[in-house]
Amino acid sequence: MSTTAYHPLTEHEAKQYALLHLNVFPQGAVLHSREIGDGNLNLVFHISHPESGRSIIMKQALPYAKVVGESWPLTLDRARIEYEALKVQEELCPGLVPRLYGYDGRLALTIMEDLSDHVIMRTGLISGGRYPLFAEHISTFLARTLFFTSDLGMNQQEKKLRMGSFVNPELCKITEDLIFDHPYRDADTNNYDPSIRDAVEAIWSDKELHLEIALLREGFLTKSQALLHGDLHTGSIFVTEQSTKVIDPEFAFYGPMGFDIGAVIANLLLNSAAQEGWSTTDEERRSRRELLMQTIQDVWDGFAAKFDSLWETSLIDPMASAPGYKELYMERLLQDTMGYAGCKMIRRVIGLAHVADIDRIEDPSARERARRLALSVGTRLVKGHRKASRFSDFAEAIRG
Amino acid sequence: MSTTAYHPLTEHEAKQYALLHLNVFPQGAVLHSREIGDGNLNLVFHISHPESGRSIIMKQALPYAKVVGESWPLTLDRARIEYEALKVQEELCPGLVPRLYGYDGRLALTIMEDLSDHVIMRTGLISGGRYPLFAEHISTFLARTLFFTSDLGMNQQEKKLRMGSFVNPELCKITEDLIFDHPYRDADTNNYDPSIRDAVEAIWSDKELHLEIALLREGFLTKSQALLHGDLHTGSIFVTEQSTKVIDPEFAFYGPMGFDIGAVIANLLLNSAAQEGWSTTDEERRSRRELLMQTIQDVWDGFAAKFDSLWETSLIDPMASAPGYKELYMERLLQDTMGYAGCKMIRRVIGLAHVADIDRIEDPSARERARRLALSVGTRLVKGHRKASRFSDFAEAIRG
């Protein structure tokens, strides 16, 4: 591929690049190029060839991040990390991530399948979409990527080398600050609505909660279990009724498995809390929440069953077949999942980055109720996580 | 320094190298060169200048390992790891590791202080030596190296980069196999005396023990807490009555803190078990064991007090000051220390590499008693480790 020096591409350059360097479009094809990213972290070019109907996505990392008006430098190495994580995920879960067409390290550019026929799951859920195959798909993604990148399912020496190539300090720093630190004190980056100031202050002074957060933070910093996606919220998942595609693994690193599983569940719970605003009747709200709760249970049960089955068929660690070890492993995985789900809910209400599910609710009192609900569910999950031993404990903490 | 292609140096070449490349000896000095290593993993040249009384050690890694007749290839990169670990340790604990005079990556060669006035601690203990400052020194070494390379005491982004440079798959593999796997089944590498076959078989069939070993193995594989020495037995420590120098950190990697602390304690306990053979009277045995037990308590207490004091003065992690977190951290550290101490005792009786403390006992029945004692203490430590909450629990498990 090209070795052009790094610079942000224009729509025209992106089109030229696709013609010159990719084997996707016919020579001399008349292409359309449109930048469709939000411009905060990456440029995203949609390159299409109307004549043949072919199209691709070219994603280029920008050397900075912009969030809520602030801008700070951010390593382009995240494009390499994203590409390498996608490669691992594609190999383990073909069909559950976009197909990869190429990578250009100099330009921090990844070329991949166009998923325009899919919708971002968060947007889909907000509009009341139903994704009957989602739990089946995402539990496969979680079980396979986490098992086969861990010491349970991959050569333990290769795992260490892979860990080295996924050292990702800058993006981990974002998580460490915004999820495991700032929401628990009066930090400048926080971003909460004045209407819930009392609930936010209660969290700042809740020492019992801080101890559990410190433990979960420690797990994020030190538990090198598996190659995580690292940012697996419903904005990183494309869906249709038949298909699920996980995107954007630029936060990938070796961390605790429960962080990825918890991210999925937290975002379903945030949407459930947001039904304060989106459901128009009590009946609709009840039914929507039941569906989301069933999805959460299906995600966990599906994950646990598939992980268990991989353990039976594909375990390579010689000591991991010690009687009782698997059961203990799954119990600690459930606890981590619950704890990290809680962290991810709390930060989406108090911290810098929110979720559209709640923020786009128009009625202020419904929005406030949704926020308070998310905080109280999140707090219960964090506080209860070390006591959980089965999914029903998790479900009970959700219901309160 | 030189960029000569790698080859094992002769005594003559080592001397020439010292003259040409080091700034230690006068120009044209008449040097003596003597290879004093055991030839299993490294060449160790003692280079001296009788006229000035100056001397140095030049340690060169060999591209293979020889243990009990077997030979297998082993990365020269371990010389870099050893050198970089020594640099970190020297900066954190000046005086507790040999001074470094240079490093030549091409030759896998580290040049350092000559410690010929010290004795290897294992040898010293076997001859009944007393090292009244050892606990004070080693607890400082442990507290400072572990605290300041962990997320508690160093920048968390730099820690990740450092973790990447200490990825050490080949040497970790030796530990994973020889400590956390082979001793628990009838593996070819095992090396136990037929006289204790019944006790060895009991360990092979002890499922409760295997579960605890699986958990400790998982910790070794995934718990990236701090930069460990990785092989901190009494053969890696030089002592005099006034001085302690930790050497040979080629197994260094990011792992669980308790593994290093446990290694020190296990080797004191192995010497204590070996008093079956070395002490000539019951009174001598009792008094020697009391001294060793007191040393163990001083190592732990010293470590805990110094670690605690660093926590109070030098903590950089914002969440780690949550009330109750430090106490929980210390409790889990004690548990890990106890578990890893147990693993290290068991493997020195059943596994490939033994300790001279026990193997050099001449009387077969005393040797057998020492081995059985080491196995039973080790087993109690491993089985009890998750239940321990203070040092007295540890001490009780030692006494049985």
pLDDT tens-digit series, residues B86-142: 999 999 999 999 999 999 999 999 999 999 999 999 999 999 999 999 999 999 999
The reply to whether residue A328 touches residue B211, judged by beta carbons under 8 angstroms, is yes
Domain boundaries, chain B: 11-113, 119-399
> Are A324 and B169 within 8 A, CB to CB?
no
Size of interface A-B (CB pairs under 8 A): 114
Which residue of chain A comes nearest to B221, CA vs CA?
A: A151
Mean pLDDT within A336-359? 97
CA–CA gap between residue A219 and residue A257 (Å, rounded): 10
In the prediction, which pLDDT does B64 show? Answer: 87
Task: Pick from B74, B160, B204, B257 the residue to mutate for testing the A interface (most A CBs within 10 Å).
Answer: B160
Which is nearest to A229 in space by CA: A210, A256, A199? A256
Q: Give the best-scoring range by mean pLDDT among A36-45, A134-143, B20-29.
A: A134-143
Tell me the chain A residues in contact with residue B207 when contact means C-beta distances shorter than 8 Å: 322-324
Q: Which residues of B110-126 are buried (b: 16+ CB within 10 A; e: fewer)?
A: bbbbbbeebbbbbebbb
Contact A221 B156 (CB under 8 A): yes
Calculate mean pLDDT across residues A20-46.
Answer: 91
What residue type is assigned to position B137 of the chain?
H
Cα torsion for B64, B65, B68, B69, to the nearest 10°?
A: 0
* Rounded Cα distance, B382 and B398, in Å: 11
Predicted local confidence at residue B68, as pLDDT: 57
Write down the mean pLDDT value for chain A.
96
Question: Residue B166 in contact with residue B77, Cβ under 8 Å?
Answer: no
pLDDT for residue A2 is more than 60: no
Percent of chain A scored above 90 by pLDDT? Answer: 93
At residue A300 the predicted structure's pLDDT band, cuts being 50, 70 and 90, is: very high
Q: How far apart, in Å, are the Cα atoms of A375 and each of A6, A24, A213, A230, A360?
A: 42, 47, 14, 22, 17
**pTM strictly above 0.90:** yes
pLDDT per position as a tens digit, A80-98: 999 999 999 999 999 999 9
Most B-contacting residue of A154, A319, A347 (CB-CB within 10 A), to test interface = A319
Sites in chain B below the pLDDT cut of 70: 1-4, 67-70
Q: What is the pLDDT of residue A69?
A: 58
Given a contact cutoff of 8 angstroms between Cβ atoms, the answer to whether B325 and A215 are in contact is: yes
d(CA A217, nearest CA chain B) in Å: 8
The CATH label, of 3.40.50.720, 3.30.200.20, 3.40.1260.10, 3.30.930.10, for the domain at B11-113 is 3.30.200.20
DSSP label of A31: -
Chain B partners of A168 at a C-beta cutoff of 8 Å? 160
SS3 B350: helix
Q: What is the mean pLDDT of residues A114-142?
A: 97
Contacts of A223 in chain B (CB under 8 A): 222-224
Hey, what CATH topology would domain B119-399 get?
Aminoglycoside 3'-phosphotransferase; Chain: A, domain 2 (3.90.1200)
The per-residue pLDDT for range B351-393, each reduced to its tens digit, is: 999 999 999 999 999 999 999 999 999 999 999 999 999 999 9
Burial readout B218-243 (b: 16 or more C-beta within 10 A, e: otherwise): bbbbbbbbbbbbbbbbbbbbbbbeeb
Confidence label for A3 from pLDDT (cuts 50, 70 and 90): low
- Extended strands (E) in chain B: 32-35, 42-49, 54-61, 64-67, 70-73, 100-104, 109-113, 119-120, 226-228, 237-239, 244-246, 253-255
Please name the residue of chain B whose CA is at the shortest distance from the CA of residue A158. B169
pLDDT of residue B154: 98
3-state secondary structure of A60: strand
pLDDT for B136: 98
Query: Could you tell me if A330 and A166 are in contact, meaning their C-beta atoms sit under 8 angstroms apart?
Result: no
- Residue A330's pLDDT is 98
Choice among A37-46, A161-170, B214-223 with the minimum mean pLDDT: A37-46
Stretch A317-340: mean pLDDT? 97
Is the distance from CB of B92 to CB of B148 less than 8 angstroms? yes
Give residue B4's pLDDT: 67
Length of chain B: 400
Written as one letter, the residue type at B365 is S
Residues A92 and A310: their CA atoms lie apart, in Å, by 12
The distance of A26 to chain B (nearest Cα, Å) reads 43
Q: Is A319 in contact with B213 (Cβ distance < 8 A)?
A: yes
Per DSSP, the three-state class of A231 is coil
Report how many helices (DSSP H) and strands (DSSP E) chain B contains, helices first: 14, 12
- For residue A353, the model assigns a pLDDT of 92
| Whole-number pLDDT of residue B18 | 94
From the list A306, A296, A330, the residue with the least C-alpha distance to A134 is: A296
Q: Quick one: tokens of A126?
A: 């907000």
- B116 in the Ramachandran plot: left (φ > 0), alpha (ψ -120 to 50) or beta? alpha
Cβ burial A193-211 (10 Å sphere, 16+ → b, else e): beebeebbeebeebeebbb
**Is residue A40 over pLDDT 90?**
no
pLDDT beyond 70 at A4: no
Using beta carbons and an 8 Å cutoff, which residues of B are at the interface with A? Answer: 151, 156-158, 160-161, 163-164, 167-170, 172-173, 176, 180-181, 184-185, 207, 210-211, 213-215, 217-218, 221-225, 317-320, 322-325, 328-329
Q: What percent of chain A has pLDDT over 70?
A: 98
